[in-house]
Amino acid sequence: MTLKSEKIRLLVLILAIVVAYADTLTLHYASDDRMIIFENDYTLKGFKGIPEVMTKDAFTGFFGDSKTLVAGGRYRPLSQITFILEYELFGGSIHDKVGFHQCPENEQLFSDSILPVMQHGGNLILFILLCISIYAVLKLLFPKFENEKWYFSVPFLATLLFALHPLHTEAVANIKGRDEIMSMLGAMLALYASLRFVSDRKWWWLLLSFAAMLFGIFSKENAITFLAVVPLSLWFVEAPKKRGDYLLTLLPLVVATGLFLAARTHALGGMMNQSTSDLILNNPFVHSTKAQTVATVILTWGIYLRLMLFPHPLTHDYYPHQIEITNFANPVVWFVTAIIIGLIIFAIKTLKKKNVASYGILFFIITFSITSNLLFNVGTFMNERFLFTSLLGFTLIVAFLIQKLQKTTVSGKVMTVSVILLCLLYGGRTAARNLVWHDDITLFTTDVKTSKKSIKCNVSAGGSYLKLYDQTGKKKYLKLAEEYLLQAFKLGSNTAESYSLLGKMYFMKEDYDRARQCYEIILATDPDDQLAAANLKLTQEVQRQNSVERVTKLMDENKTDEAIALANNLLKQSPDSPQLYNLLGRIYGEKKGDIEAAIPYLNKALELDPTFVSAYENLGIAYATKGNFPKALELLQKALELDPENTHVMNNIAMLYGNMGDTQKEQAFRQAHGL
């Protein structure tokens, strides 16, 4: 291979990545970005938050001080520190404006700044560095699989397909996905340093391996799988090896891993939190038998295989019930099992021959083990980002097969066109998928069309359409919000978030009874939920005001009997409404002339609200009509005491003095109050 062809490969690789991911620079924030960036206390503290990032669970900065936030815990301090650094370097315009971590304005402040551009740019640069490191490693591992045509080189083609594969959009286009990129970058650099040590015999490569492993594993724990990948790779490398090389290359990785596990144990309060949740959104297998769990996991492996071969449709959400629980009576499970067993047998049989496909299969199995759901419950059925590192094994096999076909059965021109077409399809699909990650609204309202059976996605889409209705006032968004939220409940949603969004939707539809019921359900489970309590209070107040307006309208239209019937009906729903009792008192007194019937209603209004000015005034008028002037004066004066600027009450007091025959007091009162 000439230096010129090497430069061409690197240039093509970098340009392909830039073209495929350039549109990520236009994106804002989506999905877990909220919990790690603009609503995370540690990030918002800037440099002062770094000690807490190093010593606590990653999500503590969002959820509060807890060590059991999600299954297994989340300790990825190095990737989180990069967000802090970017905030300090490029967030100068918003430092003094951001609020506490759940402040709704934070997202807009971050989105309007230069930060998202720089952070998406950071992901892009890291991904380019990762792909270059992958290419460098594969060249060391498989130098025999170069080709006279530079674009049929297995290391180059495997890296190019890895770079362009649409399954990577979740990690690259979502800023929080940086932990995946950094983890694999550190692990690949550690592997590269290990391979160079074997070939060069220079000890400083082991130091670089140690540093790279620290970088990777402190970014995300997935790098731990390279404790098995490195010896596997040493087996395949052609460089002569000494007896102790396997141990020597593993030693710095083991030390780095030990330091990580010690720090993780200190931060999370234990080596591994394996407590299981009884909530289906945190544990999709909560209602499954062990056999059903294993069968369903195998089914998801089949879906992963399909997505690697044909990455469409894509979605960020595979939560219940997007994947249905299955069992071993499902023939698909047995078909996938047969494929897996066949691949394992092939990999073992060809291991001694150092077959590229064997390496690809074993690399995939090793790196996928930690996210496969077989060893650990990861809290969801599957996610596309779970294949981020493992996908290299797949693209390596594809590149190997392409080169083999090009050399044996298929003409060079046909294979060249096929490779170009495959790269264009992958790259085009990647660029299009990136745009879905623009923000939460775009992501949720797009992916719900794929994740139709997901409780979580339907709830998220419903909430997004409520935001769109808030922003535009278009009724179609309110209708869509109702559709998706109700679908979530049909699928089994019963979370406080779901009821809160449903309550908000009903409130916007002015269906206050149903809105109130939603908030009452939340408070029945958690009486300390301040947001639900505030929403319930607001709903009740608006409901009362709405009821008063409806009754008042009928009264003003002289539809007295209808007004009374409606008021009594509304009192059955809101028996503690002083406004409705006050209105009934007015109707009986003003419209029906039945003072005796009016007085009990007005007294009831004051019993419910002793500061109700209108009720004092109306009751005073009622007693004045009965001729009980002292009582009337007492009540009207109480009303004026509560509302000293109320000219209507002042006029009634002045007229009452006149009716009592005390014109002198009437004139003095009018003069004193400027009437």
String of DSSP letters for 378-405: -SSS--GGGGTTTHHHHHHHHHHHHHHH
Mean pLDDT for 273-277 is 58
Give the CATH class of 442-538. Answer: mainly alpha
CA dihedral 376, 378, 384, 389 (to 10 degrees): -50
Please, are residues 226 and 195 in contact by the beta-carbon 8 Å criterion? no
Domain boundaries for CATH 1.25.40.10 within the chain: 442-538, 576-672
Please, are residues 79 and 220 in contact by the beta-carbon 8 Å criterion? yes
**Domain 576-672 in CATH: superfamily?**
Tetratricopeptide repeat domain (1.25.40.10)
pLDDT value of residue 67: 45
DSSP-derived secondary structure letter, 239: S
pLDDT value of residue 68: 47
Q: How confident is the model at residue 235 (pLDDT cuts 50, 70, 90)?
A: very high
Judge whether residue 218 has pLDDT over 90. yes
Cα 505 from Cα 486, distance rounded (Å): 10
Mean pLDDT for 286-300 is 96
**Nearby residues of 661 by Cβ (< 8 Å), 6 or more positions away:** none
**Nearby residues of 434 by Cβ (< 8 Å), 6 or more positions away:** 21, 23, 24, 27, 169, 172, 173
Mean pLDDT for 307-320 is 97
pLDDT in tens, 115-129: 999 999 999 999 999
> pLDDT exceeding 70 applies to what percent of the chain?
96
Give the closest residue to 398 by CA, choosing from 336, 306, 311, 308. 308
CA dihedral 449, 429, 371, 304 (to 10 degrees): 80
pLDDT in tens, 148-171: 677 889 999 999 999 999 999 999
Token output for 99? 């609020």
Rank 390-399, 509-518, 583-592 by mean pLDDT and report only the highest: 390-399
Token output for 416? 């060249």
Mean pLDDT for 205-219 is 98
Cα 312 from Cα 275, distance rounded (Å): 34
**Nearby residues of 22 by Cβ (< 8 Å), 6 or more positions away:** 124, 431
Among the residue ranges 15-24, 57-66, 202-211, the one predicted with the least confidence is 57-66
Cα 286 from Cα 258, distance rounded (Å): 32
pLDDT in tens, 378-391: 889 999 999 999 99
pLDDT value of residue 237: 92
Cα 329 from Cα 569, distance rounded (Å): 56
Mean pLDDT for 524-539 is 94
Judge whether residue 411 has pLDDT over 70. yes
Cα 539 from Cα 519, distance rounded (Å): 9
Q: How confident is the model at residue 240 (pLDDT cuts 50, 70, 90)?
A: confident
Token output for 408? 């044996």
Cα 99 from Cα 501, distance rounded (Å): 23
> pLDDT exceeding 90 applies to what percent of the chain?
77
- Between 99 and 348, the more confident residue is 348
Mean pLDDT for 544-564 is 89
Give the closest residue to 273 by CA, choosing from 60, 451, 495. 60
Mean pLDDT for the chain overall: 92
pLDDT value of residue 183: 98
Token output for 370? 């930690």
Judge whether residue 313 has pLDDT over 90. yes
The position carrying tokens 């959820």 is 63
Mean pLDDT for 384-407 is 95
pLDDT value of residue 348: 96
For 109, 194, 642, the CA distances from 619, given in Å and listed in that order, are 53, 91, 15
Residue 93 phi, psi (nearest 5) = -75, -15
Neighbours of 476 (CB within 10 A): 11
Cα 282 from Cα 266, distance rounded (Å): 24
Give the closest residue to 46 by CA, choosing from 105, 92, 108, 102. 92
The position carrying tokens 């007693």 is 623
pLDDT in tens, 168-197: 999 999 999 999 999 999 999 999 999 999
For 122, 134, 135, 348, the CA distances from 351, given in Å and listed in that order, are 38, 21, 22, 5
Please, are residues 190 and 226 in contact by the beta-carbon 8 Å criterion? yes
